[in-house]
Amino acid sequence: MKILWIHIGMAKTASSAIQAFCYENANILESHGYCYPVFPFRYPGIAKAHNGRFLLGVIKDGNGKRDLEQEQQNFKDGMQMVHKLFLTHDNIILSDESIWRGMDCEKPDLWELMAKEAQKGNFQIRVIVYFRRQDKFFPSNWNQIVKKDGVTETFEHYFGRVDLFFLNYYEKLERMASIIGKEHIIVRRFEPDKFIGGNIYHDFLSVLGLSFTAEYHITQEIRNYGLYGNTHEIKRALNFLPKLKEKSVRLFIVNCLWEFSDISQKEYPNEMFSKKEILQILETYSSGNQKVAQEYLHEPGAKLFDNTVNDLPKWQKDNPYMADDIIRFIGSTRNYLYQEMQELKKECDELNNWGKLIFHPLRTVLRRLRMG
């Protein structure tokens, strides 16, 4: 039986790392009978390793309006390529984390369309989705959009505007299952101590029925480059500066903050939610999460996540450590600039030395010509 494996996220569950791993190890996967194709479609800011984006990737025209016609054409062309690949492959892997969030709003008929494609091509669909505990998603996602997208809103404002339905895992799974079948959906916990083999790469391969061996290589190390509390607030405040929207400037600022972010977090350990707020969030999704564990993981009576809550204070902007972190940021920026200047000086010195080597013989020849 031919199988189309579709990894749909969710966001903030190492999806980019999985995609980079599959892309970099495409030849090895191919040798085991799994195709991780690259398609010609390009979406702004999206790496080509996100090979499943054409399934519901939003496209805007020159006026900023959604180009539904082009989206439909990309879907049609992409699926034609998939059907062609199935002529020579039994397993094809697609991945894009935006599918989990967007399948109900941006393309509500996605799974109906995929079911028709599966019937037409005589292949089965296997959906892989990783879930993160709901209260942990919000700070992680906000961290990302402040760090990379230049968002200036506060955490409270962000949390107040987010559509919470996509975190109701059970309800969304049930909608999908009603079309493609519950038996075709594979749910994994995004909790490192639950990963098979101890990391996301081992775990993902195990879902495919493969084992992680020495032949696979990892070039994108999974590291937590998050900013915490004070360092995150400094970045948010700096996002008001127009020049910070330039990628090179943004990366420079983030690197300076990363330099001491862990130190800041150790001095002032905190959460973006209070303990009471975390418990309220967990209670909101408790029933649905338990149903996911029972019906999709086949673990009656089990909890979907480890619901341990750390007894840490909620982050406050006027905390006594903010001044120290601002000083650290100034110092870190100075160090980075000094290193840049030293490297430029070294390059200039090397160029001067090359210039002397080149022009010294030339001057000697010219001098002799004049004397002659």
- pLDDT tens per residue across span 283-333: 999 999 999 999 999 999 999 999 999 999 999 999 999 999 999 999 999
Q: Token digits for 320?
A: 């006594």
Compute, in degrees rounded to 10, the torsion defined by CA atoms 348, 351, 355, 356.
70
What single-letter amino acid sits at 339?
Answer: Q
Which domains are delineated in the chain? 2-133+164-208 (3.40.50)
What is the reported pLDDT for 367?
63
- CB-based contact 259:332 (threshold 8 Å): yes
pLDDT at 272 over 80: yes
Q: Report the length, in residues, of the chain.
A: 372
* CA–CA distance, 321 with 326 (Å, rounded to integer): 9
What is the reported pLDDT for 355?
61
Please report where in the chains the tokens 């030395």 appear, as a residue.
Answer: 353
pLDDT at 337 over 80: yes
Angle in degrees, 0-180, between the axes of helices 247-267 and 322-371, rounded to the nearest 10: 140
Confidence of residue 198 (pLDDT cuts 50, 70, 90): very high
pLDDT, tens only, 132-186: 999 999 999 999 899 888 899 999 999 988 878 889 999 999 999 999 999 999 9
pLDDT, tens only, 211-258: 999 999 987 655 556 788 999 999 999 999 987 778 888 889 999 999
Phi, psi of 94 (to 5 degrees): -120, 145
What is the reported pLDDT for 346?
84
Confidence of residue 358 (pLDDT cuts 50, 70, 90): low
* CA–CA distance, 38 with 48 (Å, rounded to integer): 7
Which of 113, 92, 69 is CA-nearest to residue 22? 92
Who has greater pLDDT, 371 or 126? 126
* CA–CA distance, 38 with 52 (Å, rounded to integer): 9
Q: Token digits for 304?
A: 């979907």
Confidence of residue 365 (pLDDT cuts 50, 70, 90): low
What is the reported pLDDT for 343?
87
pLDDT at 350 over 80: no
